[in-house]
Amino acid sequence: MNERYYNILAAVDGSPQAHQALMEAVEAARRNNARLYIAQVVNSSGFLINSATPVSQIIEEEKEAAIKLLEEEFAGIDYYNKQMITCVGSPKKVLCFDLPETYKIDLIYMGATGKGAVERMLVGSTTAYVVNNAPCNVMVVK
């Protein structure tokens, strides 16, 4: 474990577990005087191809919802060194590879999965994937 973290990523999805992870990430950022990145990833693989609505419109609507969620979370955080990130893609890959590389993340905070057992079996847990593949430490909060 690092003695000090400089860039901390908190992944939020609107779940109570993700919110608790964010609150713990804020405290870790304060202790380390670190930059805090708060990220919401719009899952592009979850869109229905057979939908009558164009995929680009669905993505825009999902991004707007993600930004609203982030703004709500962001407003409640009293910490000076924070940045919001909203992106579209596979949450597993974005949280595990793209964001850590782009922002030099050395610690990721995530909530434990909120998915049901059947869905977790079918698609796998984003949290489990990040824990097993991230290039840095991952803190999972229940």
pLDDT by residue (tens digit) across 103-126? 999 999 999 865 545 545 545 689
Q: Which amino acid is at 120?
A: R
Residue 53: what pLDDT? 67
For 30, the enclosing helix (H) or strand (E) is: helix 16-32
The answer to which of 25-29, 95-99, 121-125 has the lowest mean pLDDT is 121-125
For the entire predicted model, the pTM comes to: 0.85
- Within the chain, strands assigned E span 7-11, 35-43, 82-89, 107-111, 137-141
